[in-house]
């Protein structure tokens, strides 16, 4: 067996780790703020003042750093929700997806930095993951350009999403397992990250799997539950997903 090399921590590496810890603290503080986030009292906002603030946020987003960007996206989401509560028609779903995607990227980036690794490092594993991701996009494009019925392209897209979400879900689960072997601040950093994303990732996997299954059943000419039971029952756990799947026959 090859002998393990002695780990030498350079000054540069130490500085990177210190920087990572600062970033991680900033993320943790941000997540705490999110948890305790409550609408502020005071002067009531009008539709006009909300519109102006949204415009300002869009301008700031271009030059904001990662942490600031995350808080701006959250503020934009809150303002859009407020706008919606005033009776305006706002499509929040794409903004929410944008927020969660950005948030998950930030959380993982902060974690990588916390452990003293440069998140821009191009490892062999990263190249493989990128290749798989690009292949899924290519498969969806192939199906769309094939000229068949749009339902067929939709099925391919649903399958690609399930492929990606299955691995995404497993990755977070593995991080949780890895955290068991850590102690102190390192364990806390991983557990805090997981606490934030676990429910969202469960939702991604179970809802996309439900859509894929029902779309397939529909394409086979059999009675399908659309939207799927997982979506209708707002499933957020593995047990909930199993129950929803079991209940589908009663929902036909």
Q: Contact positions toward Fe ion, by CB under 5 A?
A: 168, 201, 204
Q: Which is nearer to Fe ion, 185 or 199 (CB)?
A: 199
Tell me the closest approach of the beta carbon of residue 173 to Fe ion, in angstroms. Answer: 12
How many whole angstroms separate alpha carbon 20 and alpha carbon 36?
24
DSSP symbols for 160-189: HHHHHHHHHHHHHHHHHHHHHT--HHHHHH
Sole residue written with tokens 């493989």? 128
Q: Which is nearer to Fe ion, 20 or 210 (CB)?
A: 210
Tell me the closest approach of the beta carbon of residue 52 to Fe ion, in angstroms. Answer: 34
| Other Cβ atoms within 10 Å of 144 Cβ, number | 15
Residue nearest Fe ion, Cβ-based: 204
Q: Which is nearer to Fe ion, 135 or 171 (CB)?
A: 171
SS3 at position 214: helix
Tell me the closest approach of the beta carbon of residue 30 to Fe ion, in angstroms. Answer: 20
Decide if 96 contacts 76 (C-beta within 8 A): no
How many whole angstroms separate alpha carbon 246 and alpha carbon 158?
21
Residue partners of 50: CB distance under 8 A and separation at least 6? 79, 82, 83
The pair of structure tokens assigned to 132 is 């798989």
How many whole angstroms separate alpha carbon 207 and alpha carbon 234?
8
Q: Which is nearer to Fe ion, 192 or 203 (CB)?
A: 203
Tell me the closest approach of the beta carbon of residue 203 to Fe ion, in angstroms. Answer: 8
Tell me the closest approach of the beta carbon of residue 241 to Fe ion, in angstroms. Answer: 14
Q: Which is nearer to Fe ion, 163 or 191 (CB)?
A: 163
Tell me the closest approach of the beta carbon of residue 158 to Fe ion, in angstroms. Answer: 14
Q: Which is nearer to Fe ion, 168 or 186 (CB)?
A: 168
């Amino acid at each position: 067996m090859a002998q393990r090399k002695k780990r030498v921590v350079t000054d540069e590496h130490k500085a990177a780790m210190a920087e990572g810890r600062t970033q991680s603290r900033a993320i943790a503080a941000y997540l705490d703020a999110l948890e305790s986030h409550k609408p502020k009292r005071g002067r009531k906002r009008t539709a006009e003042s909300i519109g102006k603030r949204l415009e300002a946020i869009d301008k700031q987003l271009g030059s904001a750093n990662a942490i600031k960007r995350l808080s701006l996206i959250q503020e934009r989401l809150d303002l859009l929700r407020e706008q919606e509560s005033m009776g305006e028609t706002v499509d929040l779903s794409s903004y929410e997806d944008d927020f969660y995607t950005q948030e998950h990227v930030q959380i993982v980036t902060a974690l990588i930095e916390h452990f003293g690794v440069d998140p821009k490092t191009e490892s062999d594993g990263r190249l493989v993951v990128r290749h798989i991701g690009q292949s899924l996009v290519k498969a969806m494009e192939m199906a769309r350009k094939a000229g068949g019925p749009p339902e067929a392209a939709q099925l391919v897209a649903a399958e690609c999403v399930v492929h990606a979400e299955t691995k995404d879900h497993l990755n977070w689960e593995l991080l949780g397992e890895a955290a068991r072997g850590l102690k102190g601040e390192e364990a806390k950093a991983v557990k805090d990250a997981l606490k934030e994303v676990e429910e969202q990732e469960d939702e991604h996997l179970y809802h996309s799997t439900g859509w894929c299954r029902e779309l397939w059943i529909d394409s086979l000419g059999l009675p399908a539950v659309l939207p799927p039971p997982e979506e209708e029952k707002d499933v957020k756990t593995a047990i909930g997903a199993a129950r929803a799947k079991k209940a589908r026959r009663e929902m036909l």
